[in-house]
Copies of this chain bind each other. A is one copy, B any other.
Amino acid sequence: MGMIGGGKDAFIGAIHRIAANMDGLIELVCGALSIHKETAIESGRILFLPEDRTYTSYEEMITAESKLPADKRMDFVTIVTPNFAHFAPAMMALDHGFNVVIEKPITFTLDEAKQLREKLEETGLMLLLTHTYSGYPMVKEAKQIVKGGSLGKVRKIYVEYIQGWLSKLSEREGNAQAAWRTDPSKSGKSGCMGDIGTHAAHLAEYISGLKITQLNASLNVVVEGRMLDDDGAILLRFEDKATGVLTASQVAAGEENALKIRVYGENGSLEWAQQEPNTLTLKWIDKPAQTIRAGGNYGDRESTYAVHNTRTPGGHPEGYLEAFGNLYRNFALSLQAKLNGEQPKAEWLDFPGIEDGIRGMAFIENVVASNNSNEKWTDYIV
């Protein structure tokens, strides 16, 4: 793995490294860790990178690495720069034969995402988009339960992603994370909906297996002086007559990272909340509610997806880093299989990719379009 962005003091780069390290399958071998030369070099030193593979620009890294012998050079590139700087290095990496991992949202615009899809089809290379929350074992279990049909036809989806960290105008108080995420030139058309609404939408579609078809969005700039939405809610229509509500806020004072989803079918429902991720609750219209636990071995588990994505026995809580690690692990196992000419298992291939990226960008476009419209419903166009 070679990393672009994620120098010292960056948040998400460090998370990617822990996730990639976790299972001993992936090694960080090179990096272009900052656009500031000194930071890049200092960061490489801290991470024990060899000096000759500590690059000061992604162009330099991709060029240099592609000249190394096949068994020496990095297998894939991880891009953890701000949103506006995803596309160019991804295209260049693919052009030079490197697989790609990208932090979400995949690109700055929907159009870029589509170009990336073309390039992937052309090169046959692999892409992982780190929609972390779909890496949790209980999320995978939830998806399999819906698929298994015991809940009946899905009627209703409530998904909410509520944070409070932008309750003040932190972007003016030296918070670097806040600064770029609320800056349209770096973050894109939408703030809150782009940053966390996309996760919520992805989770809803991932678990339910249903695609959003229409939406009725209302975004707010709650904190005066902010340049992008920091709050919003969307009424949703899905395929197959299901409806839903998506709520996202970064000014919900007191909340941490409260992503929660509830899916209601004809016979019962499921509920999962990220802050206590090892529990999946099933409620039924005619029998007692059940609590499925990560690490539980029930014999009748709907699938092996949850088991495959759990490292420890029941009661040993796994969390965000393990969920993130599952994305990397599944990507690495699939890549390894591919390089060995083998067919990856279905549960390895269950990681977010280019199609999720395109829907994520489309989500942002459609939400902003609906918000700007006086019509109640806007068709969801990809």
User: Which residues of A approach B to under 8 Å, CB–CB?
Assistant: 11, 14-15, 17-18, 21-24, 28, 47-48, 151-152, 155-156, 158, 160, 163-165, 167-168, 216, 218, 220, 222, 231, 233, 235, 243, 245, 247, 249, 251-258, 262, 264-269, 274-278, 282-293, 295-300, 311-322, 373-377
Say which residue of B21, B23, B152 sits within 8 Å of A24 (CB atoms): B21
Residue from B160, B168, B315, B377 within 8 A of A163 (CB atoms):
B315
Complex CA–CA separation, A47 to B255 (angstroms): 41
Closest 8 CB pairs of A and B: A254-B283, A257-B315, A256-B315, A317-B319, A256-B314, A316-B320, A288-B290, A289-B291
A257 and B314 contact, CB distance less than 8 A: yes
| Bound form: Cα–Cα A133–B169 in Å | 36
22 A-B contacts (beta carbon < 8 Å):
A17-B24, A21-B23, A22-B321, A24-B47, A24-B48, A155-B251, A156-B231, A156-B251, A158-B247, A164-B269, A167-B266, A245-B245, A245-B247, A251-B264, A256-B295, A277-B317, A288-B292, A288-B296, A288-B298, A289-B293, A373-B376, A374-B377
Whole-angstrom distance from the CB of A59 to the nearest CB of chain B? Answer: 26
B243–A218 touching, CB < 8 Å: yes
User: Oligomeric state, in number of copies?
Assistant: 4
- Chain B residues with CB below 8 A from A165, complex form: 313
Residues of B within 8 A of A267 (CB): 167, 253
